[in-house]
Amino acid sequence: MDSHHLRHFVAVGEELHFGRAAARLGIAQPPLSQSIKRLEGSLGIQLFVRNRRHVSLTPGGLVLLDEARRILNQIDLAERLTRRAANSGVSRLRIGFTPIAMFTELPHVLTEFRNRWPLVRIHLEERPTQPQAEALAAGSQDVGILFRPVSGLEGLATRLIERVRSVAAVPSVHPLAKKKRMRVADMTGQPFISLHPRVNPEAHAAINAACRAAGFVPSIVQYANQTYTILSLVANELGLAIVGSNARHMKISGVTLVPLVDYPPDLEQELVLAWTPAAESPVLRSFVGLFEKMSEDNAAGR
């Protein structure tokens, strides 16, 4: 079993059609069929059930499809890293970040990093958490600032930036804004503004779970893609929201953040720095080290 056979197998496994898979690979169908037969022969199992009209994966084929994708992604990443190491050109650092990261140490780290590595090109891309995890795993991003929990962090190195508690974002003119602390159930019957599930499905699911545990289903009147937008809508009295405690950095007038005393701890999030250990380089290690030092210095000064 080699990468050549695995690429052929993945193409057929995803297309479930030998003709389309051959066209996708740019080869004729007979050599593709022979490649799959050799792979099945080396494994001693059947990977596909096929007839004239239908192709499907066997249970063994389904397992191999997931594993083959991972193996090929790692091979592609290794090839890219090797070529990059052999290239004497200017290095680059690809950094993904969620919008809230601009209210952390990131701006100061970037300034110091540029001073230390003036020839390194920095490529910044604002991305939601899940696409960042996928980009890191695929090797198209070097380091990210994102929220945990999120699927796809297996195998990545992480460093905690901040534990994010959940708070209620309430219009400052609302009666609930007078409370020093409140329960999730206090928001029953109120219009809700929520982060869109495609932006952070884990956070969206956690908020819904917390509301259901408190005895109600949130009445969502508006979705938004960023916490800043959510707070702006709350300030304009369109509804209430549950946001992370790091929203305090945004300082939007007209919004009061009230601690939630009964938000389930297991639904809380963490803001973390994440990267692929296999992609570590002096440049990446320097960036991570700067972030860790500034985070520690700021924590000590609080």
Domain boundaries, the chain: 3-86, 92-163+269-301, 166-267
Which two structure tokens, joined as six digits, stand for 157? 């190195």
- Spelled out in words, what is the top-level CATH class assigned to the domain 3-86? mainly alpha
Whether 189 and 211 have beta carbons less than 8 Å apart is answered as: no
* Whole-angstrom distance, CA of residue 191 vs CA of residue 234: 10
pLDDT at res. 85: 56
Specify the CATH number for 92-163+269-301; select among 3.40.190.10, 3.30.70.3420, 3.40.640.10, 3.40.50.300: 3.40.190.10
pLDDT at res. 90: 46
Report pLDDT digits (tens) over 64-113.
999 999 899 888 877 776 666 555 444 789 999 988 888 878 899 999 99
- Asked: is 166-267 a CATH 3.40.190.10 domain? The reply is yes
pLDDT at res. 287: 92
Q: Give percent of the chain with pLDDT exceeding 70.
A: 94
First vs last Cα of the chain: how many Å apart? 56
CA angle 294, 97, 106 (to 5 degrees): 20
Question: Which residues does 14 contact at the CB level (< 8 Å), separation at least 6?
Answer: 21, 65
The bridge status of strand 219-224 relative to strand 191-195 is parallel
Average pLDDT, the chain: 87
Range 56-70 average pLDDT: 93
Report pLDDT digits (tens) over 229-242.
999 999 999 999 99
* Whole-angstrom distance, CA of residue 61 vs CA of residue 254: 57
pLDDT at res. 11: 94
The stretches of 2-128 forming alpha helices (DSSP H) are 3-15, 18-25, 29-43, 59-86, 106-116
- Model confidence band, residue 269 (pLDDT cutoffs 50, 70, 90): confident
Stretch among 88-102, 169-183, 198-212 having the lowest mean pLDDT: 88-102
Domains 92-163+269-301 and 166-267 share a fold: yes
pLDDT at res. 89: 46
